[in-house]
Amino acid sequence: MLAALRQERPGLRVSQDPMDLLACARDASTEGYLERRHGLLPPGPAAVVWPADEEDVRAVVRAAGRARVPLSPLGAASGVVHGTSPGPSWVVLDLKLLDQVALDPARGWVTAGAGVVGERLERALNAQGFSVGHFPSSIYCSTVGGWVAARGAGQLSSRYGKIEDLCVSLRFVDGKGRFLVLNENEQPGLMQSIIGSEGSLGVITAATLRVHPLPSHRALAGFAAPDVATGLSFMRQVMQAGLRPAVFRMYDPTDTLLAGGIPRPSAPPQVQEGCLGRAGLEDDHAAEASVRNASVDLSVGQGWESRLRQAALRVDVQPHLQEWAGWLLARGPWLRRVACSVPSRCLVVLGLEGTRDDVGESLASSLELARNTGAVLLGRGPGERWLTRRYAVTWKMPPLIRAGGWADTLEASAAWSDLPALYADARAATLRHALTLAHFSHAYPEGASIYFTLAGGGGSLEESRRVHRAAVDAALGVFLRHGAALSHHHGVGRMKAGHLSASLGAGAAGALRGLKSALDPHGILNPGVLGLGGGAS
């Protein structure tokens, strides 16, 4: 296949260098991290190619189809559901050279190549006074194509929507090398079938996304809710009052504790110039600081938990912190008992942006709803702290894995009235296996997403794998029993594929297979994700 391809597209970049193959062998799923920590390097694919334009993509797909070689489209491999896992005979189609960005300011659209990294896109748009409004915590290590392929969400999705809401049109190459442009008016159903297809139906080459003028004003506020139910009631009432906060997150009691507890009230929230979206992207120093803070910044809050933590931090903590994390997680049962007995209060963070009038009115209405529901205002401190650390989570995994622990995240979405029981049952089920914390975010008028973090540690690779899988299956089982969506923005990959039919009904597999056979008749595109096998070798 590669020889024929080199002949057809002499300029195409191809590599079989072991380091290149290793670099694209796995995504950021916990399973892959665990294997690497225990010295198990994945075999990697047979080759990696870097198409420079859509014709290159078509040529690669046609050649793979003729040779029945499976292809794994690749963005930045920051997925966490085992969606990138090429076998030893596969070819990886790395799309990072498809990096064109074209803004149409009059129409309010930007067309970006599938390989454009999120941070670069946002910087380019910010320089011209616009923003996509899509800020995943992986913005430094995820691409436009990856966002679309996984139905991703950004931290400001409650205001700007998820990627499926932002997409105006898509360009993609199907499994037979046919080039298609889909838009939301002429082929809305087909466009929404490609969004979320995780590389199994076609190779997304570019997306046209809505952009928004940079907001002129912002406001941040924090609240303490006496318990999860009260906090959810506050969030629901804000969303159903038509308020569109850019950021709206509630941390459960354990997550609140780990974030430093409920802080003392700080200065009252106020309408300020500037917007939330740009924060953290102003310069490279901010990114570096974000990485540093991810490892060591625990000196937040004023509660008893925080004071205890600060006392510990008077020593030079960095060399010891990773050891502590591993030591703590290895004592799972003890840690989980502590987690179950923490105070029940929850920290809520609210961020607004828009015009001065919009932000002012939204802030006043939100404060009134907080008073009515029993959420106590903590001032603007918690919101400002969240803003400075918003991308930190992306960098937390490697130190934890090095210290002998593991963590994974699962995000379900459900209607408001289903959320309290879903949270309680999933937490109870996963605490048998792992430390469990959660936050509620990505709020909509009809419901919200719960983002669970599961963490464990110690033991052999087999033991870690067994406990990890048991914790994940326990959570997914509860999601299914409650009729919740198994994923809000990570996607399905291979990790959740076995549960898809139970979630969507017995007919779903047939419908997905129908799409697969129509668009990828040779079965060469990322076989295995979404439970869709392939006919390729």
Contact positions with another protein (CB under 8 A) in 394-433: 412-418
Assess 350 for contact with another protein (CB under 8 A).
no
Burial class (CB in 10 A: 0-12, 13-18, 19+), 209: buried
Residue 214 gets which letter from DSSP?
P
Residue 529 gets which letter from DSSP?
G
> In the range 229-288, which residues lie near another protein by CB under 8 A?
236, 240-244
Q: Which stretch binds another protein (CB under 8 A): 64-72, 122-130, 197-205, 423-431?
A: 197-205
Q: Which of 475, 523, 533, 443 is nearest to 153 (CA)?
A: 443
Q: Which of 354, 381, 383, 527 binds another protein (CB under 8 A)?
A: 354
Q: Which positions from 109 to 148 touch another protein by CB under 8 A, shown as an x/- string?
A: x---------------------------------------
Residue 105's SS3 state is coil
Q: Which of 148, 194, 203, 225 binds another protein (CB under 8 A)?
A: 194
Q: Which of 195, 377, 378, 471 binds another protein (CB under 8 A)?
A: 195
- Closer residue to another protein, CB minimum distance, 157 or 464: 157
In the Cβ-directed half-sphere of 286, how many Cα atoms lie within 13 Å?
13
Assess 213 for contact with another protein (CB under 8 A).
no
> In the range 477-496, which residues lie near another protein by CB under 8 A?
483-492
Q: Which of 62, 82, 151, 439 binds another protein (CB under 8 A)?
A: 151
Q: Which stretch binds another protein (CB under 8 A): 25-33, 156-164, 273-281, 334-342?
A: 156-164
Do the beta carbons of residue 151 and residue 192 sit within 8 Å? Answer: no
Q: What is the CA radius of gyration of the chain?
A: 23
Minimum CB–partner distance for residue 135 and another protein (Å)? 16
Q: Which of 54, 122, 198, 408 binds another protein (CB under 8 A)?
A: 198
Where are the extended beta strands (E) located within 191-253? Answer: 202-210, 212-213, 217-225, 247-251
Distance of CA 34 to the CA centre of its chain: 20
Do the beta carbons of residue 8 and residue 44 sit within 8 Å? Answer: no
- Closer residue to another protein, CB minimum distance, 268 or 521: 521
> In the range 362-401, which residues lie near another protein by CB under 8 A?
364-365
Residues paired with 272 in a beta bridge = 218
Minimum CB–partner distance for residue 323 and another protein (Å)? 36
Minimum CB–partner distance for residue 185 and another protein (Å)? 6
Assess 80 for contact with another protein (CB under 8 A).
no
What gap in Å lies between CA 49 and CA 64, rounded to an integer? 12
Assess 339 for contact with another protein (CB under 8 A).
no
Assess 161 for contact with another protein (CB under 8 A).
yes
Instruction: Count the residues of the shown chain that bind another protein, applying the rule CB under 8 A.
Output: 92
Minimum CB–partner distance for residue 419 and another protein (Å)? 10
The sheet carrying 179-183 orders its strands as 101-104, 109-113, 202-210, 167-174, 179-183
Do the beta carbons of residue 362 and residue 352 sit within 8 Å? Answer: yes
> In the range 174-193, which residues lie near another protein by CB under 8 A?
174, 178-190, 192-193
Minimum CB–partner distance for residue 87 and another protein (Å)? 21
Q: Which of 80, 81, 87 is nearest to 44 (CA)?
A: 87
Assess 512 for contact with another protein (CB under 8 A).
yes
What gap in Å lies between CA 64 and CA 71, rounded to an integer? 7
Q: Which of 21, 64, 144, 150 binds another protein (CB under 8 A)?
A: 150
Q: What is the 3-state secondary structure (H, E, C) of 151-177?
A: CCCCCCHHHHCCHHHHEEEEEEEECCC
- Closer residue to another protein, CB minimum distance, 424 or 511: 511
